[in-house]
Structure 1
Amino acid sequence: MAAARTTQTSPFLLSLVSISLLLLQAISVVDCNKDQDSNDATDFIRTNCNATLYPDVCYSSLSRYANTIQQSPAKLARVAVAVSLSRARRIAAYITNLSRQPNSAAFDTETAAVLKDCSSTFGDAIDQMRRSNTEMIHLDLTSHSQESLRFQMSNVQTWMSAALTNEDTCTDEFGDLPDESVKSDVCERVVYGRKLTSNALAMVNRFVAATEADAPATTP
């Protein structure tokens, strides 16, 4: 009668299994950390957006940039300004195309004139946002003095406020016109862009407040 055969696991195979398990555990930890970082970033964005006038618009427009923003008030303000500028450029292009069309049944002469004025006003808003965006891009928190930082951020606040006013002016010009498809379409786009600008200004103001809070106290 044949003796029962016994099998032994090679020490080499045991080592391979152990290494594989360790690698899987390490990958799981990395993945969990990534998920946690992403959750922390989106929570940070949502918390800041809740302090704006248009929190839903704020979160939906900025949450996709969570990996870039992380939990940085400076990056949050910078991205918010860039998003506002990008949308404003798209709106301006749309208005400009409408204003350059010959008069037709789509809109009358008065509406065409308002579109032209709105296009010019939006051009000013875009210029102000562009300046703000450039200032935010070149913001160096590691080397600038507190006075220099205050000056830069004061410029951004002024320009973003002016851009918001120009967007308001654009929609106000449609006030006396009869309701029609062109008016409602343009106003809907401009109002959404205005919400982005308002949110961006709020993020800039929150960043300024955070910077002031972290600034070292000066002795008299």
Structure 2
Amino acid sequence: HSRKSDNLHGYKSNSTSSHEATKTISTSPQAQQSKETTLRTPTRISKKPLLCFQNVKTLAMKPLLSHLFLTFLFFILHPIVTVSSPDNDSSTTATNATDFIRTSCSATLYPDLCYTSLSGYANAIQQDPARLARTAIGVSLSKTRHMAVYVSNLSREADYGADPRASAALHDCFSNMGDAVDEIRGSLKQMRQLVAPGSESFRFQMGNVQTWMSAALTDEDTCTDGFEDVAEGPMKTDVCQRTGKVKKFTSNALALVNSYAEKGTN
């Protein structure tokens, strides 16, 4: 029994000594240094994979950024090409139309006036001789109508003047201009109802237009004939100059009508 007790005391003593030894070892400087080394080592190892991951991520972002930049440039530049194409096409079409008008006007007595008065309608005319003749008739109608209104105003003023011949000439001129307006208006209406070229109906319609436009030109000529017996003065000069310019528009329109009629019947 005493031996067992000694053994137990010896076991406890040994345990106590072992525990104290463990404390001594754990608190020694070498143990602390070893512990610090053990703690530091994983920290250094864990940083290296992190740096590698960051490098891989940066390298992966570079192609992505390049792709996004190229995509941005594409969407910025692409609309410029798309929008510019219709402008080029419309510019070419307008140039062809104006060239067509210039060439067609060379058949008239006043080609420069013909071109300047019709080139503004190039988009509507394109290269269509029927549209060209119809537009020329419309311009002639507008000029003749304005002239008729102008002469009408002058004739009312002349009624109170001292020269009866001037008053009579203005009334006759207004009557002739009114007839010319009706004839040109009828020509324009007929041009809007044209059938296909080459048929008998087409020749009949174009014959009407040629007759009416020729009659309108004659009426405009007659307007100035009445002023031969009127004394020279500002009013006579102004009316004759204005009428002469209106006659040029009508003459050009008639020439374009004749040209189209000739092409359509051949």
TM range (shorter): 0.7 to 0.9
Question: In structure 1, how many angstroms separate the alpha carbons of the residues matched to 2:234 and 2:91?
Answer: 45
Distance 2:73 2:207 in 1: 60
Contact residue 103 and residue 109 of structure 1 kept, 8 A: no
2: CA distance, partners of 1:67 / 1:173: 41
Matched, 1:103 2:131: no
Once the two structures are aligned, what percentage of the paired residues are identical?
Answer: 49
Q: Name the CA distance, whole Å, in 2 between partners of 1:145 and 1:198.
A: 25
Q: Which structure has the larger Rg?
A: 2
Question: Which ranges of structure 1 fall in alignment gaps of 5 or more residues?
Answer: 214-220
Match of 1:218 in 2: none
Q: Which one has a larger percent helix, Structure 1 or Structure 2?
A: 2
Give 1:126's aligned residue: 181
Match of 1:82 in 2: 138
Normalising to structure 2: TM-score of the pair? 0.73
Amino acid at match of 1:170: C
Corresponding position of 2:7: none
- CA deviation vs aligned residue, 1:51-96 (integer Å, no higher than 9, x gap): 1101111111111111111110000000000110011000000001
After TM superposition, list the pairs within 5 Å mapping 1:27-46 onto structure 2.
Answer: 27-46=83-102
CA distance in 2, matches of 1:184, 1:164: 20
| Cα distance in 1 between the residues matched to 2:129 and 2:76 | 40
Q: CA deviation at 1:26?
A: 2.2
| Stretch moving more, 58-67 or 132-141 | 132-141
Counterpart-to-counterpart distance in 1, 2:102 and 2:130: 15
Report the AA paired with residue 186 of structure 2: R
Matched, 1:49 2:105: yes
Q: Determine if contact 1:73/1:207 at 8 Å carries over to the other structure.
A: yes
The C-alpha deviation readout for 1:154-198, integer Å capped at 9, x for no partner, is: 000000000001111111221232221111111111111100000
1:160 to 187, 207, 213: 213
Maintained 8 Å contact 1:121/1:170 = yes
**Residue in 1 aligned with 2:126?**
70
Point out 4+ residue stretches in structure 1 off by more than 4 angstroms: 5-8
1:138 is aligned to 2:184: no
3-state SS of 1:100 partner: helix
Pick closer, same or farther for the CA change 1:178–1:66 going to 2, 3 Å.
same
8 Å contact kept, 1:80–1:200:
yes
What number of residue pairs does the alignment pair up? Answer: 206
RCO higher in 1 or 2 (8 Å CA, sep ≥ 6)?
1
CA shift at 1:12, angstroms? Answer: 4.2
Q: Tell me the equivalent position of 1:174.
A: 227
Residues in 2 aligned to 1:136 and 1:19: alpha-carbon distance in whole angstroms: 50
